Amino acid sequence: MEYFVIVIGSIFVSNIVLAQFLGICPFVGVSGKLSTSIGMGGAVLFVMTLATIVTWVLQYYLLTPFGLGFMQTIVFILIIAALVQMVEIILKKVSPPLYQALGVFLPLITTNCAVLGVAILTIQKEFSLMEGVVFAISNAIGFTLALVLFAGIREHLDLMEVPKGMRGVPIALLVAGILALAFMGFTGMV
Amino acid sequence: MAKKESSFVNMVLTLFLVAAIAALALGGVYTVTKEPIAIAKQKKLEAAIKSVLPDFDRIEEAKYLDPEGKDSLTFYYAYQGDNEVGAAVKTYTNKGFSGNVELMVGFLDDGTIYNTAVLSHKETPGLGDKMDIKKSDFSVQFKGKNPEDFKLKVKKDGGDVDAITAATISSRAFCDAVNRAYVTFEKDKGGAQ
Amino acid sequence: MNQVANFTKGFIKENPVFVLLLGLCPTLGVTSTAINGLGMGLATTFVLVMSNLVVSLIKNAIPDKVRIPSFIVIIASFVTIVELTMQAYTPALFEALGLFIPLIVVNCIVLGRAEAFASKQTVFSSVIDGLGMGLGFAFALTILGAVRELLGSGNIFGLELMKGDLMLVFVLAPGAFIALGYLIALMNKLAKS
Amino acid sequence: MTGRLKTFTLGGIHPEENKLSANAPIEVLPLPKQAIIPMGQNLGAPSKPIVSRGDFVKVGQLIAEAGGFISANIHAPVSGKVLKIDNVPDASGYKRPGIVINAEGDEWDENIDRSKDVKEEIELDSKEIIERIKEKGLVGMGGATFPTNVKLMPPPGKVAEYLLINGVECEPYLTSDHRLMLEKGKEILIGTSILMKALKVEKAIIGIENNKPDAINHMTELAKSYEGIEVQSLKVQYPQGGEKQLIKAVLNREVPSGKLPIEVGCVVQNVGTAYAVYEAVQKNKPLIERVVTVTGKAVRKPSNFMVRIGTPVRELIDAAEGLPESTGKIINGGPMMGKALTSLEVPVVKGSSGILLMQENESRRKPENSCIRCSKCTYVCPMGLEPFLLAKAAKLGRFDLAENELVMDCIECGSCQYTCPASIPLLDYLRLGKTMVGTIIRNRKKK
Amino acid sequence: MLTVSGSPHIHGDESTKKIMYGVVYAMIPAMLVSVYYFGLDALRVLLLASVAAIFFEWLIQKYLIKGPVTIMDGSALVTGILLAFNVPSNLPSWMVIVGALVAIGMAKMSFGGLGKNIFNPALVARVFLLISFPVQMTSWPKPQAIINGLTDAITGPTPLGIVKEGLDAGKTMSEITPELPTYMQSLLGQMGGSMGEVSAIALILGGLYMLIRKIITWHIPVSMLLTVVVFSGILWGIDPEHYADPVFHLLTGGMLLGAIFMATDMVTSPMTRGGQLLFGFGVGLLTILIRIWGAYPEGVSFAILLMNAVVPLINRGFKPRRFGIKPGVEIKTS
């Protein structure tokens, strides 16, 4: 049941993009096309889960025991940067097709605050490792959901001749705002 | 100075140096700020306790299981000299409109609520957040009431509490948190004596 | 290089939020009030100036291949310094900004300026650039915060300007997107004329 | 007959039928003083003149040869002197190469059998029939003007199973096929038999919409004496006259996207074509005249005329008692797919099935509004396309999208535009999309 | 002078204007009921919302977009009336105007105007108001027939609100039911709620009219309501003491208003029948999810907005059946 709460909570109730404002840059930047949105979502799922596991282990077996809690930010961001590099190298060797699909998005993820954000939140919320993994996966799904919905809408808007002043980022933010309004319907579900 | 070459030794050395300097600098800042951070935290807690209890000069901390036996609540017994002036209970509810609500509730010895304070909540601004004394007088009605004869339920549910307009859920959550504190407080009183 | 232009470009012409569309996460996340926006903006400015300074100082000592990791370490250090300092001396603001303080480290503006500007320019230019960009960021966040605060609760910087029921939605997540969307549209329009 | 009438299943509309001239028997129109004969009367390459200025030609004499594999011969519709070989106005509104003949008398080529007798017996074999049809310049008379002989030669590996004769005449107003069936039913059936022989098929079905009960009864009665030919009555629905829709309606077979009817074993010919085949094969008569409906709400005498090719439209209109004052638009063909004419001097060609005079108030398009995404265009599209999307793609130059969304499948029936509540000129955009995507595809193939 | 234009040369007699005014006519019964039960206040909100919607459309078209002014096409009027239908009759006037501005300015004209918006304008406005002014948007005047005189309205909760409150407080359905309006009252409109949602009969009348006029098709309403009945029916079957019965769900909380007038909005619903069925299913499912497990007692508006966002994806997935292409065969992409 706890896991259920985490899943529904992360995907719908407090969606990482629409309620927590994390990962907005790729949300605005990448979500122009459906195919790239799915690719980005996949890459984020991969890195976010991995990063959460590694940072969790580091936090509880290194930082906390040695009183180095204040090093959290610096350690986590380095871990994520290194992870992205590693994932890129490994993926290239092990699964070229997957690398082809996700490769271009990997460098972007280092500066995707959703990854660092989820890693830190996992610690802040005092999740167990397993809960953290579920939390990371759910948030990645929530991120992908928002991204994919958004990509569909923006591909549609490409054909709609939006007024000049609103074209591009303003209308994207407006859509995000209305989407966030709609997502408020999930309030109180968990 | 010419640009350094990207030789392996150079790279490792640079990274190591940068990291070491950073770690040192951070360590320094950490040492300097450690004290103020602890004080800030303590101040916040004390402020909360102060707002729900009469004057005191000393606090003792204890933890007790709530009646459901799931979570322990933190009690802060306050003393003025040797006299116990009351207990502040850090309590919570998960029945909030959008998540947990944390309260501090101060009880006098006989179980009368001296005052309440909201520690954290995620209730809707303009609605549920009126449980905060800064936003509305909702919480004033609990002052000086003894739950023995003041039913900690909203009127709609047959209690004595006037709910916040259009925010029954938040009001109910508030009552639930206070009630949890009260029940634990009562149980503990019996147990301790 | 004209340092005046270097300084002012961040406000309108190359405003990191309205024009370059960088750092949107904190922009949306912390601007429920003007003071939060300003606080976040100043915290970011500090990190920007300091990291620009350090990066431009040591740019020649860093081999190209480890440039980015080194920059990240430098930036993260300053972020942590800000984090600790705020926790110690402005605990309320620290709590309001929450997660977004450590997240300054992944704010594209900071790494972007270090990489695109400070690693190529003189120390002085870099500091001015960081200051201009940072204050431009703070300016944008404060405006957005003020707009949201005014529409959402009738206040600006906590000062009550309007009474009565206001549009709570602007304090909440949807209002952040909507207000920023229209602000950018407005800025586009102003920039053109 | 029980159950629902057959029709095609996807999309379709039912505009007001307005068959004003349905009861007007075919009249033979007097010869024109001058016949204007454009060289581009068929789908494919234009024909090449083989006569010179000043030559005297007899009716039925070959005056232009097919200009390629998909092209057709043209014969003199009148006798007289070739006045000039020059650019002449045609239905497109442009001036294109053509031959102008000054009519003198009515002297026919000797090989043509001008007797009124109906000749039943088919003497030629398959190959000879096709050769004869080719020689006599036959093209599809329904409006598409695809050279008939080409359709009769299935590509290697493909076998025809059914011959469908299109007597649907789904366009509002037009009645030329209807009258032809009533008055020349026997000839049509013989023509059908000839086509069956040419195609070596056992079965032929004549599809007629049930707003022409007299034609259905008449043809059914006559068809009894012809083996393998049956008449199928169909529910009225536009565009049932489209080849693919007719095949779907009659046989419930679906021609795959981008393919020809022969893919599902069918060849479709118009009733007018079947009549022309009869005349060409049995009477040795080239395609020099055809039935043309002259109609319109303000036309005093809506009529059906047997007209020589090359007769200027003005003479047809005069024969229908003149051009009404209120005329705003003159259409060569039906109201759904016909072309608006720029001048009355445009001649009747092989594909002209009707001249429709629309009144001023009917001829203006309503102002275009915003698409409200009602998707009515999608529901009526007989090809299952999304016209609103294709039109948008074409308008914004997104031809990749238009191609992926199958713009090339559009049959230009106009149902979408007819239905659109926002009066968007969808078909204009679709045509643009088709042209551009067609060019893109050709360029791609070249590479 | 001859007119020359491409084919086709004739046009059917449908027009945007006819469709829009058709919707307006369909709303007349519900308008009458709202005035009957909520009195002059209802009239005030109706007029204000309509006039404000048309005014903002004019203002924006003329001075911001600087394009043709099309306020007479009826679409702004429809939005205005629907907005009025979605708020309580005692909503302060300035909030009604804010709602109209949000509906027209934000949800419609920012996207370019009629036909270009993603989300149903009236619903965006409703949710915007609901979140912004929770108190005013959730105090519902009790309906009292206008013939009983124009006394000040007493406010009370909606039936859904009563159920939600009751169940949250640990009551069972059989304890709550006496507080609820009877089915007959719900059919006629004698219950608390938004102006346009109270009378099932009036809404159904309007729906039938639009079906006959072919302004809407049955697909979205039927699949939406069927989903609601089946889903809430299953829950009710399992535990009738803790879940309201399906008929109750159907008749309350704007379910019919949403199904007939909002979810069927052409602009913001899918283009193909298959897509519409899925859309209706999604709306129905989300509505019940939100009603039962969410914090808001009423879920239709959120559900429709959420599904509005999915429409572009549905439109990609549900293409019409193409002639000559076997279903399921991949369309070649270049």
* E contact test, residue of D339, D342, D370 with most E CBs within 10 A: D370
B97 Cα to chain A: minimum distance (Å): 5
Q: Which residue has the higher pLDDT, C128 or A34?
A: C128
Contact D335 E8 (CB under 8 A): yes
Cross-chain Cβ contact A74/B26 below 8 Å: yes
Structure confidence at residue D235 (pLDDT): 94
Interface of B with C in 29-48 (CB under 8 A): 29-30, 33, 36-37, 40-41, 44
Interface contacts B/C by beta carbons within 8 Å = 74
Could you tell me the maximum CA-CA distance found in chain A, to the nearest angstrom? Answer: 58
Residue of A nearest to C102 (CA): A73
Contact (CB, 8 A) for B142 and B91? no
Comparing alpha-carbon positions, the chain A residue that sits nearest to B22 is A74
Coil/strand/helix, residue C145: helix
| 3-state DSSP helix/strand/coil % of chain D, to nearest 5 | 30, 20, 50
Phi, psi angle pair for B96, to nearest 5°: -65, 165
Q: What is the mean pLDDT of residues D57-81?
A: 93
If pLDDT is split at 50, 70 and 90, which confidence band does E226 have?
Answer: very high
Q: State the pLDDT at residue D442.
A: 92
Residues 6+ away with beta carbon under 8 Å from E296 = A185, A187, A188, E130, E290, E302
Can you identify the CATH homologous superfamily of domain D1-26+116-364? NADH-ubiquinone oxidoreductase 51kDa subunit (3.40.50.11540)
Task: Assess D393–A contact: CB distance below 8 Å, yes or no.
Answer: yes
Full-model pTM: 0.90
Of C165, C166, C172, the CB nearest to E131: C172
Please judge whether C178 and E136 are an interchain contact, meaning their C-beta atoms are less than 8 angstroms apart. no
Question: Beta strand E140-141 with E155-156: parallel, antiparallel or unpaired?
Answer: antiparallel
3-class DSSP assignment, residue D98: strand
Burial of B36 from C-beta contacts in 10 A (0-12 / 13-18 / 19+): middle
Q: Which amino acid is at D66?
A: A
Which residue in A154, A148, A129, A121 sits closest to A21, CA to CA? A121
| A126 touching E (Cβ < 8 Å) | no
How high is the pLDDT of residue A3? 86
Q: Which of C36, C58, C163, C169 to mutate to test the interface with B (most CBs of B within 10 A)?
A: C58
Mean pLDDT check: name the lowest of B19-28, C142-151, D94-103. B19-28
The two structure tokens encoding residue A105: 């998005």
Interchain pair C169, E106: CB under 8 A: no
Q: What is the pLDDT of residues A111-167, one digit of tens each?
A: 678 899 999 999 988 889 999 999 999 999 999 999 999 999 988 998 888 998 898
Q: Which among C80, C172, C181 has the least Cβ separation from residue A74?
A: C80
User: What are the pLDDT digits (tens) for E56-106?
Assistant: 999 999 998 888 898 999 999 999 999 999 999 989 999 999 999 999 999
Q: B with D: 3 or more CB pairs under 8 Å?
A: no
SS3 E10: coil
Q: What mean pLDDT is predicted for residues D171-181?
A: 95
A71 vs B26, B97, B98: nearest CB: B26
Q: Give the rounded percent of residues in chain A with a pLDDT score beyond 90.
A: 31
Residue located via tokens 């060569």: D332
Q: Nearest CA to CA, how far is E134 from chain B (Å)?
A: 7
Query: What is the 8-class DSSP label of residue D255?
Result: P
Question: With bands split at pLDDT 50, 70 and 90, how would you rate the model's confidence at E253?
Answer: confident
**E176 neighbors E161 (Cβ within 8 angstroms):** no
The model's pLDDT over C145-158, given as tens digits with 9 standing for 90+, comes to 999 999 988 888 87
CA distance to partner chain A, nearest, from residue D395 (Å) = 9
Chain B: list its partners (3+ Cβ pairs within 8 Å): A, C, E
Rounded average pLDDT over A3-21: 88
Q: How many domains does chain C have?
A: 1
How many Å is the Cα radius of gyration of chain C? 17
Does residue D392 sit at the E interface (CB-CB below 8 Å)?
no
| Largest distance between two CA atoms of chain B | 82
Residue E331 in this model has a pLDDT that exceeds 50:
no
Least confident of B55-69, B148-162, D414-428: B55-69
Query: Between A13, A74, A187, which is nearest B22 by CB?
Result: A74
Q: B29-43, C18-32, D175-189: which has the highest mean pLDDT?
A: D175-189
Query: Quick one: pLDDT at residue A171?
Result: 92
Q: Write the residue in A71, A74, A187 that is nearest to B98 by C-beta.
A: A187
Which candidate, D286, D332, D386, places its Cα nearest to that of D60?
Answer: D286
Residue E235 has pLDDT above 60, yes or no: yes
Residue C1 burial by Cβ neighbours in a 10 Å radius (0-12, 13-18, 19+): exposed
Restricting to B residues 8-27, those with a Cβ less than 8 Å away from any Cβ of E are none
**Angstroms from A22 CA to nearest CA on chain B:** 18
Contact partners for chain A, using 3 or more CB pairs closer than 8 A, are B, C, D, E
The answer to whether C52 and C116 are in contact (CB under 8 A) is no
Note the pLDDT tens digit of each residue in B101-136. 888 888 888 888 888 888 888 777 767 788 888 778
Cα–Cα distance list, D318 to B22, C114, D38, D329, D356 (Å): 99, 85, 22, 16, 13
Strand partners, B102: B92, B120
Q: Is the pLDDT of residue A104 over 60?
A: yes
Determine phi and psi for B143, rounding to 5 degrees. Answer: -60, 130
pLDDT value, residue A103: 67
Query: Residue E332: what pLDDT?
Result: 45
D233: helix, coil or strand?
strand
C57 touches chain B (CB under 8 A): no
Q: Do B97 and A70 touch (CB under 8 A)?
A: no
* Distance from the Cα of residue A53 to its chain's centroid: 15
Partner-chain residue, chosen from B97, B156, B166, that has the shortest CB–CB distance to E138: B166
- The 10 Å CB-count burial string (b at 16+, else e) for D75-99 is bbbbbbebbebeebbbbeeeeebbb
- In this prediction, residue E263 carries a pLDDT of 95
Give me the percent of chain C exceeding a pLDDT of 90.
Answer: 38
User: What pLDDT digit, counting tens, does each position of D358-377 carry?
Assistant: 998 888 888 899 999 999 99
State the best of E132, E133, E301 to mutate against chain C, taking most chain C CBs within 10 Å: E132
Provide the residue range defining the domain that includes C123.
3-192
Higher pLDDT, A61 or B148: A61
pLDDT digits (tens, 9 = 90+) for C43-59: 999 999 999 999 998 88
CB contact under 8 A, E131 and C178: no
pLDDT at E328: 57
**Per-residue model confidence (pLDDT) at position B2:** 52
- The H or E element that residue B32 is part of is helix B8-52
State yes or no: chains E and A have 3 or more CB pairs below 8 A: yes
Q: pLDDT band for position B63 (50/70/90)?
A: confident
| C-beta atoms of E133 and C172 within 8 A | no
Residue D321 is encoded by which pair of tokens? 């008692």
| Cβ contact, residue pair B26, A188, below 8 Å | no
| Cβ neighbours around D444 below 10 Å, total | 10
Cβ E169 vs Cβ E58: under 8 Å: no
| CA-based nearest distance C69→chain B, Å | 8
Tokens 């004329």: give the residue: C193
Q: Check if the beta carbon of residue E245 is closer than 8 Å to that of residue E159.
A: no
A81 and chain B in contact, CB less than 8 A? no
CA distance B6 to D356: 83
What pairs with residue B60 in β-bridges? B77
Question: Which residue ranges does chain D devote to CATH 3.40.50.11540?
Answer: 1-26+116-364
pLDDT band (50, 70, 90) for residue D3: low
Residue D2: the pLDDT is 43
Question: What is the dotted CATH code of the domain comprising E16-154+161-317?
Answer: 1.10.3430
Residue of chain E with shortest Cα separation from B172 = E169
In this complex, which of A70, A74, A187 lies closest to B97 when CB atoms are compared?
A187
Nearest chain A CA: its distance from E207 CA (Å) = 25
Check: CB of residue E198 under 8 Å from CB of residue E37.
yes
* Mean pLDDT of all residues belonging to chain C: 88
pLDDT tier, B1 (very low <50, low <70, confident <90, very high otherwise): very low
Residue B161 has pLDDT above 60, yes or no: yes
Q: Measure the CA–CA gap between C158 and C155, rounded to whole angstroms.
A: 5
Q: Best residue in B93, B169, B171 to probe E by mutation, most E CBs within 10 Å?
A: B169
pLDDT in tens, E147-199: 555 555 567 778 888 888 778 777 888 888 888 888 888 888 778 788 888 88
Query: What's the rounded mean pLDDT across residues C70-82?
Result: 91
Reference D181, options D18, D316, D26; nearest CA is D26
Residue D292: the pLDDT is 96
| Subunit contact D431:E6, Cβ cutoff 8 A | yes
In angstroms, the CA A138 to CA A133 distance is 8
Spell out the domain ranges in chain E: 16-154+161-317
